[in-house]
Structure 1
Amino acid sequence: MAQGSKPLGYVTHAAQNRRRLARTIAGYIAAFQLIGAFALTAPLLIFDPLHTILSDPAGYALRYAVPLGVISALIFWSIYRGHADAVRAALDIRDVTRADEPRFVAIAEEQCTALGVRAPRFGVIEVDALNALTVGDGPARGLIAVTRGLLERLDDDELAAVLAHEASHIRNGDTQVLSANHALMRTAVTLQVNNPLRIEDWRQMIIPLFLPPFLPILIAGSAATMLAMRLAKAARRDIKLSRDHIADGEAVRMTHFPEALVSALGKIRGQGRFDGSRRVEALLFEGPSDHEGGTHPPVAERIAAITALGRDLMVPGRQRKDTRGPATIRPRFGVRPKTASAQEYPCDEEGRPLEQPPTPTLALQLLRFTDPPAYRRWNEACFAWYEWRVSDQRNALGLTPKMLIPVVSVTAFLLVFHWPANNDPARMLDTFSPAKLAQTFDMVRLDKPFCEGPSYPDGTCTGGQTSGTFSAKPARRNTWSPDLPAGTAEQDQASERDGPPSAMPGMVMVLFLFGLVGMSVFAPEQLKRLMGVVEAKPGQAGRPQREKPSAPSPASYHELPPAAPPPPSLAPRPAGGGFGRKRV
């Protein structure tokens, strides 16, 4: 060992886990505050526009940072406590007792007792792969699960070594760190999916054409969601590879049988993948190594470390205990295979989504109340997609390469269109300032008059400004009212003559025309739908249709000749009623 390096044992590893857990919780709060601030921008512009994160960060922090922190803590605790249930539902883990699986539960309880761990729940995953996992802690929130293939392929000593390894993760605090990281990632993804101020579609660039301050708001919101995701992924990478080496050492210390653990690793190597395993690879006994993007050390390194650690305990030719028998392999009748979710949201063999799930709409949000299982499947698909998307190559602003061209084009157009004639950068910044947008929304909310041009502290419109209001009240005074002081009508007419005409109507018309041209080029179907154009179906366009005789209207029934029978809908029904009458 090099001089100055400290040996990493159980005490050091447990202390590192406590510090790692604190960092994860701090990162969680930071990510939640970051995305939550931008997610609240839209409603705050309506109800409290002067205290948004972009218009007044200090005012926003004083008013909303603490309540948002309390909400984030409650959500964190809820997801943290439900981690085991989420994993059990995702992998279809069946809870078992000593009556169901006597061999597995007896060995697992023995190892938990030896390590001083309160026995958690136990479960079995009905797959042929060889693997095990541990999640949560305690009898209520903890879970140790093994695959059916592991129970069938390992003898008692090998199974005891694997279960001692899994139980040591609970004792060392690894499961707490993983549950906290799960809560961090899940919340970051949930906020990202439901954040309306992230740039995901080029159609969002239509908004800044009419409201330029929304351009920095959208870019900042997209960058905030990307930063929060990077914080969550950085916390996941902080899960050290040494945790598996520490758990292997604890398993050797408890079983005094290093050969059994080495033999189990040799059997499990490369045989641990099953449907959905990639999503919980940090919880597995054997998973992808750090070279493959995982969080496990290579199996060869683990075997070498176990051999070096337990060389004195190895006894060649030691007899193994094996109580497996035909009775332990029990067929499960009536179990429906998990094919519905795979057909609805296709995934690869490791559970990676093959296509992006639909974006959140009102109909999908209503599924939370009308069809909770369908909503959970969609939510899990969104979570998997945003967690694993590595092919979109997003930059620091959260923009994909295909979104760079629309964003840059709209930004260049707005800069040219709104560039001041006097080349004043302050006026340009005022045009794109979110604070100005917040003031405008506040004037709309409070029914205040606003001025176009230089603003003054007293709020009055003086030389070179035009006054207006968003109110539904009449903007002009009644010049015939006897309550007005003398000369008021003449002053109003003079102010209207002196003030320059507003350029807002012309700009809105130009932008409206640009919008129509853009829709005709990039979204012709949406433009047709907007204009009410209905096209014929493809099956009806290729062949001529026979003209169907139109049914006579009720008003023309009395015009039929007497000999013509009445329409079937008006024919008298036979006597005796309908349901239950005798057939003649």
Structure 2
Amino acid sequence: MKRIFYFLVTNLAIVLVLSVTMRLLGVEPFLNANGLNLNSLLIFAAVMGFGGAFISLAISKWSAKRMSGAVTIENPKTLDEIWLVNIVKKQSQAVGIQMPEVAIFNSPAVNAFATGMSRNSSLVAVSSGLLEMMTKDEAEAVIGHEISHIANGDMVTLTLIQGVVNTFVLFFSRVIGYTVDKVVFKTRQGTGPAFFITMIISELLLGVLASIVVMWFSRQREYRADIGGGQLAGNQKMIAALQRLKSQYESSALPKSIAAFGISGEQGMGLKELFSTHPSLDDRIARLQQNTN
């Protein structure tokens, strides 16, 4: 809760600084005089930006199961199911969270993901391919990685970040559109076509910049979850799991909407890396090896 509180306070401070800056530069008085109330616009943008992000979070378990085909283990029957449930229970107790739902989804890809509304209302799912291709030690480390995502509150924090960037995109795209419409095209009453065209173009461009911020955080949380997996299962097991992922790597079998939550996901080099949800496996392995040394 402290992280969420400080995160919100920080972003409220950013909004305040921007508001004061726009006032000092004369932007706010100009827009207010021409019919655009920045305070009302900011409230609208925040409601829309955070609303969509939190609705996605609220239905994340339901939608993840629907899109991946994951089936919750209600009564473990096979040896793999019994082992999987026991490991999740052991690790969740170790980090002090309530037992997540445990599920398996049918896929040859070696992957797993965690999602949910909160630390104590979450889901851990692994692919059938992971259970088949990984040793128990490697699978234990992967589960530790996913449990660490939950314990770190990554789902909520990512939602907050998404809400903030959504708010800024909605807010500034409309400010830019309104300014261009009034200053460049001299629209006197209401808004003209230039407002809508400029707003849409601004949303697209600002959305690209916003996604870079979100993807950067997504990559950082993968590093942290790797460390957490190493602490829960053992650093060497986590390194071995990532090496196995590297040797068996293929495109993530997860839908794009939840691909960021998988242990194996989008990677890229150069400019493409800016839009990747995951760091390269080589980088992740190197960081863990540094911690071991």
The normalised TM-score by structure 2 is 0.69
Identity %: 21
Q: Please tell me whether Structure 1 or Structure 2 has the larger radius of gyration of its CA atoms.
A: 1
What is the deviation of 1:221?
A: 2.2
Matches of 2:98 and 2:254, distance apart in 1: 28
Matches of 1:22 and 1:73, distance apart in 2: 12
Matches of 1:249 and 1:118, distance apart in 2: 21
Secondary structure at 2:217's aligned position in 1? coil
Matches of 1:63 and 1:213, distance apart in 2: 17
Number of aligned residue pairs: give it: 257
Counterpart position of 1:154: 134
2:56 equivalent among 75, 79, 95: 79
Cα gap change, 1:66/1:21 in structure 2, threshold over 3 Å: closer, same or farther?
closer
Please report the RMSD computed on the Cα atoms of aligned residues, expressed in angstroms.
4.2
Q: Which has the higher contact order (CA 8 A, sep 6+)?
A: 2
Counterpart position of 2:74: 97
Counterpart position of 2:155: 175
Secondary structure at 1:110's aligned position in 2? helix
What is the deviation of 1:254?
A: 2.4
Instruction: Supply the AA of the counterpart residue of 1:138.
Output: R
Matches of 1:96 and 1:185, distance apart in 2: 36
Cα gap change, 1:124/1:184 in structure 2, threshold over 3 Å: closer, same or farther?
farther
**Residue deviations 1:38-94 (CA, integer Å, cap 9, x gap):** xxxxxxxxxxxxxx989412xx34666546645655544333322332333222222
Counterpart position of 1:121: 101
Matches of 2:256 and 2:49, distance apart in 1: 27
Cα gap change, 1:96/1:23 in structure 2, threshold over 3 Å: closer, same or farther?
farther
What is the deviation of 1:214?
A: 2.1
1:436-475 matches, cutoff 5 A: none
Matches of 1:21 and 1:123, distance apart in 2: 32
What is the deviation of 1:185?
A: 7.8
Matches of 1:179 and 1:71, distance apart in 2: 13
Counterpart position of 2:35: 56
2:286 corresponds to 1:304: yes
Instruction: Supply the AA of the counterpart residue of 1:307.
Output: Q
What is the deviation of 1:182?
A: 5.5
Matches of 1:182 and 1:274, distance apart in 2: 22
Contact 1:124–1:146 (8 Å) recurs in 2: yes
Cα gap change, 1:213/1:167 in structure 2, threshold over 3 Å: closer, same or farther?
closer
1:135 equivalent among 101, 111, 115: 115
2:132 corresponds to 1:166: no
Matches of 1:241 and 1:75, distance apart in 2: 22
1:244 equivalent among 219, 222, 230: 222
1:1-16 matches, cutoff 5 A: none
**Residue deviations 1:426-452 (CA, integer Å, cap 9, x gap):** xxxxxxxxxxxxxxxxxxxxxxxxxxx
Counterpart position of 1:280: 258
Return 5+ residue gaps in structure 1 as ranges: 1-13, 31-51, 199-210, 312-584
Matches of 2:200 and 2:9, distance apart in 1: 24
Matches of 2:249 and 2:224, distance apart in 1: 23
2:179 corresponds to 1:219: no
1:558-569 matches, cutoff 5 A: none
1:295 equivalent among 277, 282, 286: 277
Higher helix share: 2
Secondary structure at 1:133's aligned position in 2? strand
Contact 1:83–1:179 (8 Å) recurs in 2: no
